[in-house]
Structure 1
Amino acid sequence: MALLCVSAFFSGSETGMMSLNRYRLKHQRKKSSGARRAAKLLATPDKLISLILVGNNAVNILAAIMANALAVIYVGEVAGPWVATAVLTIMMLVFSEVTPKTIAAQNPEWVAFKASHILRPLSQILAPLVWAINKLTNSIIRLLGFDPEKGQDDALDTEELRTVVDASGHKISGDHQNMLKGLLDLETVTIEDIMIPRAEIQGINLDDPIELIVEKLITSNFTRTPLYQGDINNWVGVFHVRKLNHLLRGESVTHSALKRFAEEPYFIPESTSLANQLINFKESRQHFAAVVDEYGEVQGLVTLEDILEEIVGDFTDTGIAEQNEIEPLTNHNYRIAGVASIRDINKATGWALPKDGPKTLNGLALEQLESIPEGNVCFVIGGYRFTTLSIQGNMIEQFEARALQHSSDEE
């Protein structure tokens, strides 16, 4: 029974050591001596495995010899080996394999840290034997075409990190999980995906009468407003609305005064990732930028707040406007505005509409239809069915949409 217990120790140690969470182990090394011992053993996994298997196999072979000898004495030379094999197999499976390995798999840290007290000195005692076995096995591994020196790559890519965040469960709150996933998205999402499109820019045309300009500035819902001359591509500057108070109290408001108090326009390419632009905003101490394409044409604008909202969620009531663009109906149906972005639709519905083409639902529909429909039509994109509800000029204003999977489930 003592040999079975020793065998159980080696079996449980192997499972416990190999089941340790490497990232948690790195953190625990700072405050746990057991974690430091386990980390040193795992630094050379080939030696650790050889050590455990040497001990386990030696004990199992010794147990088999003793069981066979006892069975011959009590049962006889003919039946003894068969009885010993049957009894020892069952006992080893139950007491030395399944039970200790199950406990170790459920409690890897407790088992591994406790076992390291014995495995650490044992590795020093059996070092010559382990070295010889490793040399032999490494030679065989090379003959089979593998590299015995190849280390384990513990680095995680973005999607694997996202899985880790999702698997954190109750240890990280839902809001914090969303923030972490928002940070991971910064590398893959570009300015073009989140910018306010050109058609929705509420700028000030300096060719307009000064009275109209002042009225627009007073009623503006935004802190900063772009100033342009004649054409939206000809940005003159960015005017901070609070400076209007200085102009109204002091000198008269004129076109030249607006230009003088305006900040220099800041231009960025639409293909810039959010991660890079966040750094650029910090280094340039800017909060507001015009987004241009490869030809220098203004395609939209983006603010520092827009990028931060991708991480922490909406600061203001802009989320209400997005909800109005994507309105849930009964039976998994949605009424969606044509100007709604594909990213917002996917986030609100959990769908997977293609994001590598047009950025709005209207653009995606026109790409699919290849023309502006004269009347309401129904079409399918991927696994989603869309029906146009209203068309105004060269734009589809409203859609009704649903996932085909839900349609087939109800049928």
Structure 2
Amino acid sequence: MTDIPLWVSIVAILLLLVLSGFFSGSETALTAASRARMHALEKSGNKRAIIVARLIEYRERLIGALLLGNNLVNILASALATSLFLRNFGEVGVAYATLVMTLLVLIFSEVLPKTWAIANADKFALNVAPIVRVLVIVFSPVVAAIEVIVRLVLRIFGLKIDESAAVLSAHDELRGTLDLQHKEGGLVKADKDRIGGLLDLAELEVSDVMVHRTKLFALNADLPPAKLVEEVLSNPFTRIPLWRDDPDNMVGMLHAKDVLRAIATIKGDMEKFELEKVMSPLWFVPDTTSLQNQLNAFLKRKAHFALVVDEYGEVMGLVTLEDILEEIVGEIADEHDIELPGLKPQADGSVIVEGSVPIRDLNRASDWNLPDDEATTIAGLVIHEAKMIPEERQIFTFHGFRFTVLSREKNRITRLRMMALTPLQDTQKTAK
């Protein structure tokens, strides 16, 4: 080493520091690069994006090759620096070499390139990908051997690494991204709710969004034709289920347009109105059907309306295409609708809400975060948390709200007053 000129050693050390910075920056950029953006560029034919996607796909091999290269150049640079300082300062040169190389590696080979890479991750990754691919191929045998050794050592300590195991599902990653973008101001609440609603379709069942049988508008098929037509035309619903003999015995469905066409055909002579020719067959779906499957079924059958039945075949309610779409885009109101019916804000800051209002609608309308895992309606949430059917004027406190039961019919809570608690108040569940 003593034969190596001083300037050669300095140039070699600087070159090795640059290579170390390259390895550090490449590792940061390739692990931080947006997989979604790379996928979009890959589809558009960007060759470097294709390379990045392949490198990210084999992330463990990629990181192993970069760490191997980084350690090689860092150790070599430190050895050269130690030799250089020993020649010029004697034994104390080891301490000088350690101090100087620590500072140089930390600043120029770690912090600086990684800061640069994280600030321009996608661009940096695209630029270094062709070179990194070659390095991964060259170092592949050594990295593979290192992986085997690492797994064997971990197995000795009872740890097993599953390469195929994902820490988060794709849905969880998307939800995390949505929340982060909304928090940072990159995504407005309405857009966050729409995308989140789309992700929820696979997790929700039709029973979560259906109109319950207690609110189901249906007509007796045995009504006189004139009265039946009058009822059809006087209500805001386009599709109306029909029952016969017993309200639970659903026999068909009337579409308002079909009724109008029939009336036009018979020129208003109700004596000639034949219900059987106008009535359509009903479609029954299980209450456990996911919204995603039901949406696909609606689109496939070109239908908008289905009755929901439980495991015993009893009618529980009805679900429409609009109900499912509202889970994505929010409440769809027309001239006959009230924006979130059953919710009345009060002057004192409280809210009077009907017990049958769905929790999801409340959360979306008021930007709350009430849990809807164990109950669908706000009344169901109160009963679930209270572990009883409350009496009128009884008060409960949980999930950051004070709930006052205003009215109850038999075993159903029909109206509640909700008041948000201040952060200083206890949000644990209590009952008075």
Pairwise same-fold verdict (TM > 0.5): yes
How many pairs does the alignment contain? 405
Any idea what SS the aligned residue of 1:4 has? helix
Any idea what SS the aligned residue of 1:265 has? coil
- 1:179 matched to 2:194? The reply is yes
2:141 alignment partner in structure 1 = 131
* Equivalent of residue 38 in structure 1, options 47, 52, 55: 52
Measured against aligned partners, the alpha-carbon deviations of 1:179-210 in whole angstroms (never above 9, x if no partner) come to: 22111111122222211222222221133344
CA–CA distance in 2 between the matches of 1:359 and 1:136? 52
1:203 alignment partner in structure 2 = 218
- 1:11 matched to 2:24? The reply is yes
- 1:261 matched to 2:261? The reply is no
CA contact 1:376–1:391 (8 Å) conserved in 2: no
Question: Structure 1 residues 4, 177: CA separation in 2 closer, same or farther (over 3 Å shift)?
Answer: same
2:109 alignment partner in structure 1 = 96
The 5 A counterparts of 1:222-233 are 222-233=237-248
CA RMSD of aligned residues (A): 3.3
* Equivalent of residue 100 in structure 2, options 71, 76, 87: 87
2:66 alignment partner in structure 1 = 52
1:141 alignment partner in structure 2 = 151
Structure 2 gaps of 5+ residues are 1-13, 428-432
- 1:191 matched to 2:206? The reply is yes
CA–CA distance in 2 between the matches of 1:168 and 1:254? 63
* Equivalent of residue 84 in structure 2, options 70, 73, 79: 70
Question: Structure 1 residues 61, 282: CA separation in 2 closer, same or farther (over 3 Å shift)?
Answer: closer
1:59 to partner: Cα distance:
2.5
CA–CA distance in 1 between the matches of 2:15 and 2:381? 72
Any idea what SS the aligned residue of 1:232 has? strand
- 1:282 matched to 2:299? The reply is yes
2:132 alignment partner in structure 1 = 119
Structure 1 gaps of 5+ residues are none
Of 320-329 and 170-179, deviating more is 170-179
CA–CA distance in 2 between the matches of 1:191 and 1:213? 29
Any idea what SS the aligned residue of 2:241 has? strand
Question: Structure 1 residues 19, 332: CA separation in 2 closer, same or farther (over 3 Å shift)?
Answer: same
CA–CA distance in 1 between the matches of 2:146 and 2:398? 59
1:98 to partner: Cα distance:
1.5
* Equivalent of residue 108 in structure 1, options 111, 118, 121: 121
Question: Structure 1 residues 231, 358: CA separation in 2 closer, same or farther (over 3 Å shift)?
Answer: farther
CA contact 1:236–1:259 (8 Å) conserved in 2: no
Question: Structure 1 residues 7, 211: CA separation in 2 closer, same or farther (over 3 Å shift)?
Answer: closer
Question: Structure 1 residues 107, 49: CA separation in 2 closer, same or farther (over 3 Å shift)?
Answer: same
1:325 to partner: Cα distance:
1.0
1:389 alignment partner in structure 2 = 406
Measured against aligned partners, the alpha-carbon deviations of 1:104-149 in whole angstroms (never above 9, x if no partner) come to: 222222333322343334455x45xx51453255134224216678
Task: Tell me the TM-score normalised to structure 2 length.
Answer: 0.81
CA contact 1:346–1:352 (8 Å) conserved in 2: yes
CA contact 1:267–1:291 (8 Å) conserved in 2: yes
1:318 to partner: Cα distance:
8.1
1:351 to partner: Cα distance:
4.0
1:271 to partner: Cα distance:
2.1
Residue type at the aligned position of 1:201: L
CA contact 1:237–1:259 (8 Å) conserved in 2: no
CA–CA distance in 2 between the matches of 1:351 and 1:106? 34
The 5 A counterparts of 1:238-387 are 238-251=253-266, 252-253=269-270, 257-317=274-334, 321=338, 323-330=340-347, 332-357=349-374, 359-365=376-382, 368=386, 370-371=388-389, 373=391, 375-387=392-404
CA contact 1:326–1:348 (8 Å) conserved in 2: no
* Equivalent of residue 24 in structure 1, options 33, 37, 42: 37
Question: Structure 1 residues 360, 255: CA separation in 2 closer, same or farther (over 3 Å shift)?
Answer: farther
1:215 alignment partner in structure 2 = 230
